[in-house]
Amino acid sequence: MIAADYIALAWHAAREHLDLYGSLGLCLGFASGMMPSRSTILLTAAACSTCFALHYLQLGATTGAAMCLISVMQSLVAARWIGADARAAWVVPLFTGSSLVAAGLTVATWNGWPSACAGLGALLATAARLQGDAECMRRFFLGASSCWMIHNTLVGSVFGLTCDVLTISALLVALLRGGPARVSEPALVAAEAENLPGAAENVGPLRDAV
């Protein structure tokens, strides 16, 4: 088979899943990983999960749709009532209850390794939404998306796998872009001055100047 044949096979396998909601969900999934703040990550992720819930309903995948609706609820609650320093007292019980519902759905529809990956992915995503720091949240979402990527590979979901790859790529870019904090230029100048021979007596005036 030539490359064109493989492309044609991939297109025929994926085109029936390329509906409007799935396409929007794919774009929003990528965008959520690139968002600059915690709240925008969560709100974009909620929109993504809403689109995929509608996508799964069109496919008749009610369990997947239910999982997505749980994700929507958790994302909206996390965006509104979880902050960097505090969270509402009822948030953890709510997340625990919704996680138990997700676990029940996983057990009820158990299908071996795909179900295990989906369950672990849902658990990591729940942990991500409980984080008050955007970078920590991205790391948990990276783990969750990796689990879902394995799940979609095992079940042969080309569309879901594409979304996972894009989401993981966006999260990695955002994490690498964050990087370690840079030293400010005045502090760097003062540090260099301290290392110059005979410059110890001039450090004070230099710091005052910068």
Question: To the nearest whole percent, how much of the chain has pLDDT over 90?
Answer: 38
The HSE-up count of residue 54 (CA atoms within 13 Å, CB side) is: 14
Q: What is the pLDDT of residues 76-135, one digit of tens each?
A: 999 999 987 788 899 999 999 999 998 898 888 888 888 888 889 889 999 999 998 899
* pLDDT of 164 strictly over 50: yes
Residue 198 has pLDDT above 80, yes or no: no
- Asked whether residue 56 falls in the same domain as residue 132, the answer is yes
Q: How confident is the model at residue 179 (pLDDT cuts 50, 70, 90)?
A: low
Maximum alpha-carbon separation in the chain: 77
pLDDT band at 153 (very low <50, low <70, confident <90, very high): confident
182 against 174, higher pLDDT:
174
Pair 194, 118 in one domain = no
Q: Tell me which of 100 and 14 has the higher pLDDT.
A: 100
Look at residue 107 in the predicted model and tell me its pLDDT: 87
DSSP 52-63: HHHHHHHHT-HH
| Whether residue 96 is found in the same domain as residue 120 | yes
Residue 10 CA to residue 1 CA, distance in Å, equals: 13
Same domain, yes or no: 80 and 165: yes
Q: Is 87 in the same domain as 137? A: yes
CA–CA separation, 100 and 132 (whole Å): 22
| Count of structural domains, the chain | 2
Report pLDDT digits (tens) over 48-70: 999 888 887 877 777 778 888 99
Residues 98 and 158 occupy one common structural domain: yes
End-to-end CA distance of the chain: 67
Domain containing 209 equals 183-210
**If you average pLDDT over every residue of the chain, what do you get?**
80
What number is the average pLDDT over the span 14-41?
A: 82
Give the least confident one: 3-17, 69-83, 113-127, 178-192: 178-192
Give yes or no: residues 195 and 157 share one domain: no
Question: What is the mean predicted confidence (pLDDT) over 199-209?
Answer: 42
Residue 204 has a CB neighbour count (10 Å cut-off) of 10
- Full-prediction pTM beyond 0.85? no
Give the per-residue pLDDT at 167: 92
In angstroms, the Cα distances linking 100 to 31, 46, 66, 119 are: 29, 20, 13, 11
Residues 48 and 13 both lie in one domain: yes
146 and 191 together in one domain: no
